Amino acid sequence: MNTLRSLGIGACLFFLPSLLVGQLGDTSRVAIVDEGDYYLLENGFLGVHIPKAHLFDPQNGLAAPGPIRAVLYPDGTWSNNSVNYLQAPTLPLSMEVEILENSPEQGRIRIAYTFDKPPYYSPSNQVLEEAGPGHYEVEVTMPKGEKACLVTESSDYEVGYSLVVSQGLHPDRGRYQGHRSTSLENGYDPLGHVYDNQGKEGWHAT
């Protein structure tokens, strides 16, 4: 899943297919495991790797780590073995990681970045937005007993990151929301017909 967001508030869900529970193990609780440079937020079905704030040093001129490094699947496979970085026009001024909730029922971690935003100009060189402080905040919420976690984002700056989830994941079906498809292979509705909403508000196809 790619979680690129900018200039707004958004939310997305990680859904896990019906897989056998493997190395993650205990699905009766939620745990936040301190792994040194990262927190592992997991519920036995799904794990999320979140970098700690000390991995970003604004004095060294290097990019800040993205708010989520990888997803851990039940068999112990990581979706990504490399570090991903925040993408923004300027480097953050700061990065903060805070555990907001840590109970057997639910875990919640907030990752926050601050920026010194430059002025934003129109194509005709008019100032559309003055320079000033900017922010990007991500909250990852992991409930007990669910094969999903909730990721919410809030930003007033052009910020994003790439999250690789393909390694260790073998989906055989996808869903989308749109206007229509050109064939059954490209999408069908719940009745098994070629997906076509006839100009109405989009709804899900498989």
Nearest to 163, CA basis, from 146, 135, 134, 140? 140
Instruction: Report the sign of the C-alpha dihedral through residues 81, 78, 4, 86, in that order.
Output: negative
Q: Tell me, what amino acid is at 179?
A: H
DSSP 16: -
Report yes or no: 44 and 27 within 8 Å, Cβ to Cβ. Answer: yes
Distance of CA 135 to the CA centre of its chain: 17
What is the torsion angle, in degrees rounded to the nearest 10, for the CA atoms of residue 57, residue 63, residue 68 and residue 74? Answer: -100
Does residue 104 have a pLDDT over 90? yes
Q: Look over the chain and give the mean of its residue pLDDT values, rounded to a whole number.
A: 83
In this structure, how many other beta carbons lie within 10 angstroms of the beta carbon of residue 65?
Answer: 23
Q: Encode pLDDT of 113-129 as tens digits.
A: 999 998 888 888 888 88
Residue 19: the pLDDT is 38
Residue 1: the pLDDT is 36
Q: Which two tokens stand for residue 96?
A: 């903060």
Beta carbons within 8 Å of 172's beta carbon, 6+ residues apart: none
**Domain assignments of the chain as residue spans, ordered by start:** 8-172, 173-206
Question: CA-CA distance, 75 to 22, in Å (whole number)?
Answer: 4
Q: Encode pLDDT of 37-68 as tens digits.
A: 999 999 999 999 999 999 998 888 788 999 99
What's the pTM?
0.75
